[in-house]
Amino acid sequence: MTRKINIFDTTLRDGEQSPGASMNTEEKLVVARQLLRLNVDVIEAGFPISSPGDFESVRRIAELAGDAATVCGLTRAVEKDIDAAADALKYAKRPRIHTGIGVSPSHMRDKLRITEDECVERAVKCVKYARNFVEDVQFYAEDAGRSDYAFLARVIEAVVKAGATVVNIPDTTGYSLPEEFGARIKYLMDHVDGIENVTVSVHCHNDLGMATALSLAGVKNGATQVECTINGLGERAGNTAMEEVVMGIRMHGEELDAATDVNTREFIKASRLVSSITGMNVQANKAIVGANAFAHSSGIHQDGVLKKRDTYEIIDPAEVGAGTSQIVLTARSGHAALRHRLEELGYELEGEALDEVYEAFLNLADKKKEVYDEDLESLVNERDRNESALYTLEGVQISCGFPLTPTATVTLRNQADQVVTACEWGTGPVDAMCKAVNKIVQVDNDLTEFSVQSVTRGIDALGEVTIRVTDPSGEVYTGRGADGDIVVSSTKAYLNALNRLLNDKQGQRK
C-alpha cells in the first residue's frame, strides 16, 4: 500500500521569517484559508511567544481550521514558550506543539553552550512538558544535517520514549547532499528503537538550491512528513517549495512509494496569493508556478508540444491550476507555432500567404522580445491592405530635429513594378513624408485626420497609425498602417488611404 506523506506547511512561520515577507494576522488568515483549500495536513501558524500578533494569529487559525488540519505552534525548549503555545492552541480541535533544540556540535558548543548529556536532558524535558497540554508533540532536532549520526539517534530515541509523536530532522543550513541526507534518515530508521511508531519529518533549506531534492531523498528513505512553504519562501535562500515536492512525489510516486492528499489545482492561486501579500515576486523560471513553467518559445519545442503535449511537458498545466501550455511567439518560433496561433485568432493562412505573414512576423520578432496576438492581427491586416495596393512602400527615411528642416525620402513600387523615389521637405516629418508620397502618386487629397495608438504593451510595441484623407469631392478615405517605427506606420497608413482613393477612382472610370 502506498505510503501517505503528510504535508506540513510552514509558510506562516518559517516562510514569514524571510526578510521583507512579514504578514499581519488578517493576512495570515487569508493564507490559512488557501492552505485549507490546498488540503495540507498541518499548518504551522506561528511562534506564539515571539509577539502578541503571532500569538493571536495562531489562536485564530486554530479556530479557523477546525477538523480540516492540524494546527501547530513553534516553541524553544523553554517552559514559558510551551505555555504560550498551549494557550494559543487551546481552542484547536487538532493541536500540535512543535518544540526542540539544536543537536549539532556547532549549536551545542557555540549557541547553547551545553554538553551532549545536557542536550538530551533538555530535549526529553521539553517533550514531556508539552505532553502535559497536548497529545501531539513534534520534536525538532535543529541542525540535524550537521550532527553526529550516533548522537542524533540517541536524541531521537530519547524523545520518542518521552512521548514525541513526530520527530523532525531538519537540514537547517541546507548543507547536506541529497544522498547523504537520505542516508541519515535511513540510519535513524535502522537504529532508533520505536521510530516505526512515530512520524518522521524532514525540514530542508535551500542554501545550495537542493531543498526539494533533500526532502525527496528523505521520503525515499523513510520520512512520512515533509515541511515546506508556498513558493519556497523562508529564511535566507528559503525552504522546500510545497509545489515542487508535492509534484515530485506525484511524478515519482511508484519509485518513492509515496502519495499526498494535496489539491494541486490550487497551487497557482496559492502562489500568486502569497506573492501578492508578501511582496516577494516569483522568478519567471520557477518550477511549477513560475510564469515560464509551461511556456515554450523554441520553434522545435513548440512544434513538439503542439503535436503532443508530453513531448516537452511532464506535467499537465491544468493539474496545478495553470490552465494550458503557452506558446510564446518569438524570433525562435517556427511556421507551426505561428499557424497555430493564427488559427486560434480565426485566420486560416497556407502556402504563400502564410510565408508572407511569417516573414513579416520574423522581422517584427527580431525587434521585440515577444509578439502578441494584437501584433499578429495587425500583420495579417497589413498583408491584406498590401494585396490590393497600387503602390507599395519600399523604403522611407526622415531627417529632422532642431534646427534642421524636416526632410523625407520615400521609395515606392508602382503597378508596373517600377521603383520610384522622391524627396521633399515640410513643416514636420509627417508633412514632409506626405509631400514626398504625393509627388509620386500625384492624386489630389487633403489629410484631415491623423491618430496613433499602441497596438500592444511595452516600449517596443507596434504603433498603429490611422489617417483619413478627403478627395476634391469630399469623399473620405481611411488608411491604417502598423510598424515598430512610427514614421513607417505613418507612411503605410497614408499610402493605404491613397491606394483606396485610387482604387475607387479606377473603379468609377470602369
User: What is the three-class DSSP state of 281?
Assistant: coil
Beta-carbon contacts of 401 under 8 Å, excluding residues fewer than 6 positions away, are none
Query: How far apart are the C-alpha atoms of 292 and 402, rounded to whole Å?
Result: 45
Report how far Cα 290 is from the mean position of its chain's Cα atoms. 2
DSSP letter for each residue of 16-60: GGSTT----HHHHHHHHHHHHHHT-SEEEEE-GGG-HHHHHHHHH
Query: Up-side HSE of residue 102: CA atoms within 13 Å toward CB?
Result: 16
User: What is the three-class DSSP state of 133?
Assistant: coil
Are 164 and 201 contacting, i.e. CB atoms less than 8 angstroms apart?
A: no
Please report, to the nearest 10 degrees, the dihedral formed by the alpha carbons of residues 263, 269, 274, 275 taken in order.
140
Q: Is 205 annotated as a binding residue?
A: yes
Query: How far apart are the C-alpha atoms of 458 and 190, rounded to whole Å?
Result: 59
Helices (H), 346-444: 351-365, 373-387, 429-441
Query: How far apart are the C-alpha atoms of 99 and 81, rounded to whole Å?
Result: 9
Q: Is 301 annotated as a binding residue?
A: no
Q: Is 231 annotated as a binding residue?
A: no
User: What is the three-class DSSP state of 4?
Assistant: strand
Q: Is 239 annotated as a binding residue?
A: yes
Q: Known binding site: residues?
A: 14, 203, 205, 239
Residues at the annotated binding site for Mn(2+)?
14, 203, 205, 239
